[in-house]
Structure 1
Amino acid sequence: MLDRVLVFIAKHAGVLPERLVRGLFLCAADIAWLTRAGGVRQLERNLAHVLHGRDTLQHQGVFAAIKRRLRLRHVSHQAMRSYFTYFSEAMTVGGRSDECLTARVRGEGPGCARIIETTRVQDGSAPIVLGHQGNWDYAGYWAHHDVAPVTTVAERLDNEALLKTFVDIRRSLGISILLTGQHGLVGKLEEALGEPHVLVPLLADRDLSRHGEFVHAFGSMIRVARGPATLAYDTGLPLYVVNMYRERLRGPRRKQARTPYGYVCWVSDPIDMSSFADLPREQAIHDISQAWVDVWSRGIAEHPQDWHMLQPIFIEDLDLSRLKDVPDEVLELIGRRNGGA
């Protein structure tokens, strides 16, 4: 049912009032949050790691526990509204003008000027890693118009109509799309990076396949996609980390954007591959993954309300019996924690 609604909205984006669509999605977000449905419980488990870290597992005083619980519920409410706002924006982007979209998203951060210089002014290309945060379709639009053409990967969905809708939306924003499951996908991405003026951003903060990489984050461990580290290591190109979060708009920009909130693409200083060049390949990919997660985690901690992770991600929530190739040190860590619980 929801899939059909999303497809319908996307097909009629030019005639549906955006304020009405946004209001309906925010109402749905509030209902889901109040009833703790639609992944809200898991979202709060994930956010608890970000907000409280390991002290969530320790004995705490009653008043401190109540205060943390209230803060967690407040942030999870914001996160659900941010998440549903993303869908309302993504489904209606076809009805927005370039002037409007340009006002809704901007680049910032210590690596922003450098990535523009490298890929727009010079002949360079760059891999980028980001998580399920903010509005990655708007991020792709900003990158395409202000930095360089974008080639990325979209998850292959079972619902072909919804898949086509998302692919068409992203292509309309100037983004070249490859689908998961394609043979030689990494090779195609490396080939794209071999051309001048190309960005390859990848969502990578969750990967439960046998090829994911276990890394430390927020006092626990998560399994992330190896793609960004692999691309950076194989090409030797610096890896940029982008955190995306919402900001309140004011003045002329708000009027131009026709919405009270826009987005910031915060670009990190690039992670230099030269320090990993002498390592064995597998060790280098792990260490690069840990390096970008360290940078990404700081951005998530600063703006947890815009992290849309409603699925299990931390090792405490994973059914490791269903995962393959879990390193012994990870199993030992889980054993120690379970033994000390």
Structure 2
Amino acid sequence: MIKRIGILTSGGDAPGMNAAIRSVVLSASHFDIEVLGFYHGYNGLIADNSKIITSEDVDSIIQLGGTILKSARCAQMLEETGLIQAATTLLKNKVDALIVIGGDGSFNGLLSLQQHWSGKIIGIPGTIDNDLDGTDHTIGFSTAVNTALDAIDKIRDTADAFERVFIIELMGRHSGHITFNVGIACAAEQVLSFENFTKGSEQQTLQDLAKDIKAAKANHHHSYIIVVAEHLWQGGVNKLAEDLSKVSNIDCTACVLGYIQRGGSPDAKDRITATKMGVAAVQGLLDGKSGYMVGEQNNSIAYLPLNLAVKHTKTVSDSLVRAQDNILALTAKR
């Protein structure tokens, strides 16, 4: 019998986390289950910084970015003393099940907690990186793509006006999902990501880019946009712009979009996905599920063991990579 569910948001914030919190609270209320929210991720769990969340508390949060529970990294969850304290808090507050909204680090913490606490656990994938297995999209990914797309469309206006080359860095940690989706949607002339770039090929890449940019200019292309995945180029896009200038004397402007991609009101897709996953998390707990992540596959709810969800085997669609590299990139046309 589940009488009280704990919930927290952990790691990097993602648009739609509030929608997921709302969904969990309303679903739990439907079954007369209390929801205890812990603030600042696992830090609040360890410090017992919590509050009962009611339906009134989530009445007008679905449209808000960020998370009303706040979020944080928590190094203490990597130590046994931190795990024991977290388990003690859950026992003290008579929490029967814990729902964590976050990414792989958050889920690894949830798995480690099982060593010291026997309650049920469920993960909801909330990360803009879209790098968790077992779900087509994570909460926040769609909004992050649209936010970056809107920013690059504006940059394109300036690039056209000055006939400039812009190199734009996109988030994703070590995943190219944002980079490829945004790159194709904004009609970038080049997309550089982990899926089509090999470490050690820097000089060849610079030469290819220089040749292509010069050919584009000769064909009267007014602007040239290169989108690059973060952590791809040693030194980042500022170094890439510098390297390209040295190789070819091409003047490039580097732009790091950064945390703008994590903020803002979630789009409809993220609100709906988060709502469905929140309901599924509560329903899964009532059905006896524990140690799972709620996902969505082919528009249907799916449950994947947490230890498999964090394996990072999900890759960018081959069709996107092939389309960009073989057809859409300017180099492919020459």
The reply to whether TM is greater than 0.5 is: no
In our comparison, the structure showing a higher alpha carbon Rg is: 2
Q: TM-score, normalised by structure 2?
A: 0.33
Higher helix proportion: 1
